[in-house]
Amino acid sequence: MAKAPPIKHQCRECEAICQGWYGKCPSCHAWGTIEEVAATPDAKPGRITLSKSGSGAGGPTPLSLADQLAPVARVECGIHEVDRVLGGGLVGGSVILVGGPPGIGKSTLMLQVSARLARNVGTVLYASGEESIGQISSRARRLGTEPERLLVLADTHVEGIVRAAEKIGDALACVVVDSIQTVYSVAHDGLPGNASQIRAVSAQLIGFAKSNNIPVILVGHVTKDGQLAGPKLLEHMVDVVLSFEGDEERATRLLRATKNRFGSTMELGVFEMTGTGLSEVSNPSEAFLAERPEGSPGSCVTASLEGTRPLLLEVQALLAKSCGGSPRRTCVGVDSTRLAMLMAVLDRHGEVFALDQDVFVNVAGGMRLFEPAADLAVLLAVASSHLRKPLARDCVVIGEVGLTGEIRQATRLEPIGEGRARG
Ligand code: TYD
Ligand code: MG
């Protein structure tokens, strides 16, 4: 009698192999994702088949020659805030995942990037499973850009998208897929957006990018808790993960790299959503401080280094009489544990007795300040609000505050070269 293939347990999110069935994956901690799969000897995940030379396709390469054999070629799209976050432009054959909440402006940004690439570099294929060609074209008109080399495709089959991209041939500069959750592969079961479809679609698009040396941009949705929807594995598969953030009440949009195989993850791109698309904010400090009230207590300016660019940011604090119970500490853009520590330091070493007050701290413009060098600005904003004394308008403070009340010098205070100091 033929022996039944052995059964193993595997997480469908992260593909980790488990000893048995678990409700929660021991590797990625997702619930209800462990399922039984037949273990076939030649389909073992994680097993790498080595070529005869003992390495990948080309055999081992001296590291000192690697740059000459496979140089990293970049194309700038011409939108400087995007190019800077990418580390200097799009790398040929790279796969970039752009995530963000619905309505934040992902499709708008990608259409603007596509239009610039089409104008400056070559043909761009913009495949959308979310919007009709009519909708995309009316958005392009609103953005004031309809270059000839921008081709739109309303197709939800990954096979059709890859075929259309291959047909363009050498003229192709970039492929954009909006969104990865709406596209599916006919060769796989399941509805678009489920983990195995996302994995299959991404694998085909990554394969296309690598074998044709064409950058591919995938737009992805995020879940309610801000995580990219779909298997966690997707973030490991792509080269760059960008997050597009902002809130509905404000026009400011921030682009950050949370993973970048070809550059830093510290750079920040700043945009403003206008009636005619996203416009670059080349001097964010000016924009963030534009509405700073004059002579008001509770406001302090600090400088924060976002990648290579120093930004001036305003920390605001408001202290108010607490109405019984334990006083509230509400922080937006600042760490609440750090605030509690600074309140204790002020009480013990600064003779500002405000531990019984409700404290609200906010970084203006929706920015975040989690570096210790922002301590002094938070502390002074709190003290200024409590004592009702405004700080000098042209005062900028940077410094970490220690538990004994000492102020420590911030790191990375060295002078920045002319080109880097802009903004
Ligand atoms: P969109 O790019 O569709 O968001 P996403 O792809 O992340 O879901 O942007 C939608 C929002 O942007 C919508 O609320 C309208 C606004 N918007 C503008 O304010 N100005 C514009 O020029 C465009 C095209 C959109
Ligand atoms: Mg969209």
Ligand 1 pocket check for 273: Cβ under 6 Å? yes
Ligand 1 pocket check for 349: Cβ under 6 Å? no
- Please report which helix (H) or strand (E) contains residue 67, including its range: helix 63-69
Domain 73-282 class in CATH? alpha beta
CA separation for the pair 268, 313 (Å, rounded): 14
Which residue's CA is minimally distant from atom 11 of ligand 1? 103
Q: In the chain, what percentage of residues exceed pLDDT 70?
A: 88
Residue-level pLDDT at 297: 95
Chain-centroid distance of CA 169 in Å reads 31
For residues 159, 164, 166, 172, the Cα torsion angle rounded to the nearest 10 degrees is: -130
CATH fit for domain 286-422, picks 3.30.300.30, 3.30.420.40, 1.10.150.20, 3.30.230.10: 3.30.230.10
Higher confidence at residue 321 or residue 45? 321
Q: State the residue for tokens 């976002």.
A: 306
Ligand 1 pocket check for 135: Cβ under 6 Å? no
Residue-level pLDDT at 161: 96
Ligand 1: residue of 179, 245, 273 to mutate (most ligand atoms within 8 A of CB) is 273
Closest CA to 10 of 43, 38, 37, 42: 37
Ligand 1: nearest atom to the Cα of 108:
2
Which residue's CA is minimally distant from atom 25 of ligand 1? 277
Higher confidence at residue 187 or residue 167? 167
Task: Give 277's strand partners.
Answer: 274
Confirm if 115 and 107 have CB atoms less than 8 A apart. no
pLDDT level of residue 120 (50, 70, 90 thresholds): very high
Token representation of residue 153: 């495709």
